Amino acid sequence: MRQSLQLRMGQQLTMTPQLQQAIRLLQLSTLDLQQEIQEALDSNPLLEVDESEPESDAQNSAQDKNGKDENQEDTHLDSQDIEPVSDYEIDSDAALSKETVSDDLAMDVTWDEYMSAAPAASSGPMPEDETIYQGETTETLHEYLMWQLELTPFSPTDRGIAVAIVEAIDENGTFTLSTEDLLESLNDGNSGEHIELDEVEAVLKRIQLFDPIGIGARSLQECLCIQLNQFDPHTTPWLSETKMILNEHIELLASRDYRTLMKKTKLKEIELKEIVTLIHTLNPKPAASIIREESEYVIPDVSVKKVKGRWVVELNPECMPKIRVNNQYAAMSRSVKSSTDSQFIRSHLQEAKWFIKSLESRNETLMKVTNCIVQQQQAFFEHGPEAMRPMVLNDVAEMVEMHESTISRVTTQKYMHTPRGIFELKYFFSSHVSTENGGECSSTAIRALIKKLIAAENTAKPLSDSKIADILAEQGIKVARRTIAKYRESLAIPPSNQRKSLI
């Protein structure tokens, strides 16, 4: 094949470094953006934080100070007297529509659901004159148990057994081995004295009395029984009956089959209520009080509030520092004699300008998208999640004349502070499915309705998924039973047989 040269004309979209920077800043969360700004301030000497106080704020501060000098009495400004400044104001208008969706769901029943649905145990209010300091005892559960082990008098042989037991306790506080397996491993690695099974059992019982009580149990049943053994039988009513139910009928208790349970134990309903109340004071996961997860903080990017009948959208000024170009360094580019220094200043000056422009573009895009979301979801702000309207990314993209991928970037890990709480912008999007009467309803609204119905149900006779579907159908929202089950599971709500309670 003979080689040749050809000249062709065409257009091609090229991602410039500045455009790539703007896109990258757009998809960053508030915390990541603050870190990015700090890195830019550290690497670019022509960028600095604008710490100057706005003129209007300075005047207000001076007036407040003079007012306090003239009158020492405290003054209170009504929130209605302060009118926030915003470029985006939206008239209130709300509409509620309906949808029908369907899906399959497989549910399973666990003991955790039984305990999670139970009311939390309380020892009463704390006296006002008492202060209790609660702090972390150690970094991990294993270290906390080893610390208690060192304070417990053990013989050398028992200490070796105790260390092996602690090492076999997982992060949930469960002893993962059988005493027979542990005994075999100890005797295989011990060339001296032979260890008996009774010794291992005795040391394990001492470990199970470590703080928190019930740690090192081999099953949930054993964990709860260990805690019950700490109660005084003379002052705790129904203690023996509670132990009997946990030892012999824990499956019926977990499935909330109270009718069969009363039939087998010959207990009356009022007596079973007392027993269930006592069980709910126990802790099925004692290790959870030791292992603490790190708190996650959310800084809202925008805030929405109603002012004089209008929903006003504002950027959060505290989520990022206000930066500017250092004019003193920028002016040096014309006075320095070295071409290298001049090029250095000019290049960093251009980077600083593009960085500031990218931040401004990010804020402008965020305001446009948030303004559109608030405009479409005014019913939510007025009436709550039950009035959420169906909306997808493409709907907002067409309104603000941007690509759908841009909307996805600007709504990911961005949060809005509202009178109803803090929500991720993604929360306001849900698919819209047509109903039989031609209307539309959001899946978020359906979840809110399900949650409201279950919260108001009679715990002695909880609503089944079919009953919830019938109630929604009466309100004009026809939803399949399996869809109700799917939404209920997404809300971490157990099925009706697991929500049944005597107390």
Domain limits of the chain? 16-48+82-109+295-503, 141-289
Which amino acid is residue 144, in one-letter code?
Answer: Y
Overall average pLDDT of the 423-442 stretch: 74
The pLDDT of residue 330 is 79
Percent of the chain residues past pLDDT 70, beyond the cut: 77
In this predicted structure, what is the pLDDT of residue 52?
A: 67
Number of alpha carbons in the 13 Å side-chain half-sphere of residue 166: 22
Q: For the stretch 139-166, what's the b/e string if a residue is b when 16 or more beta carbons lie within 10 angstroms of its beta carbon?
A: eebeebbbebbeeeeeeeebebbbebbb
**In this predicted structure, which of 125-134, 153-162, 231-240, 255-264 has the lowest mean pLDDT?**
125-134
* pLDDT above 70 for 409: yes
Predicted TM-score (pTM) above 0.75 = no
Task: Look at residue 190 in the predicted model and tell me its pLDDT.
Answer: 64
Does residue 118 carry a pLDDT above 50?
Answer: no
The residue-averaged pLDDT of 287-294 equals: 71
The answer to whether residue 156 scores a pLDDT higher than 70 is yes
Residue 305 has phi, psi (to 5 degrees) of -150, 160
Strands 415-418, 302-307: pairing kind: parallel
Query: Hey, is 332 helix, strand or coil?
Result: helix
Band of pLDDT at residue 371, cut at 50, 70 and 90: very high
Is pLDDT of 372 > 90?
A: yes
* pLDDT(272) > 50: yes
Model pLDDT, residue 14: 66
Residue 19 has pLDDT above 90, yes or no: no
Residue 96 near residue 389, CB atoms below 8 Å: yes
Least confidently predicted of 109-113, 381-385, 469-473: 109-113
Q: What is the mean pLDDT of the chain?
A: 77
Q: Quote the pLDDT of residue 206.
A: 92
Dihedral sign for Cα atoms in the order 399, 400, 405, 408:
negative
Distance (Å, whole) CA 286 – CA 6: 76
- Each residue of 60-106: pLDDT tens digit? 444 444 444 444 443 333 333 333 333 333 343 333 333 333 333 33
Give the burial class of 464: count Cβ atoms within 10 A of its Cβ; 0-12 exposed, 13-18 middle, 19 or more buried. middle
Q: Which neighbouring-strand residues pair with 423?
A: 416
Residue showing tokens 């023996």: 240
| pLDDT greater than 90 at residue 251 | no
Q: What percent of the chain has pLDDT over 90?
A: 11
Q: What is the mean pLDDT of residues 447-461?
A: 87
For residue 370, pLDDT beyond 90: yes
- Which has the higher per-residue pLDDT, 100 or 435? 435
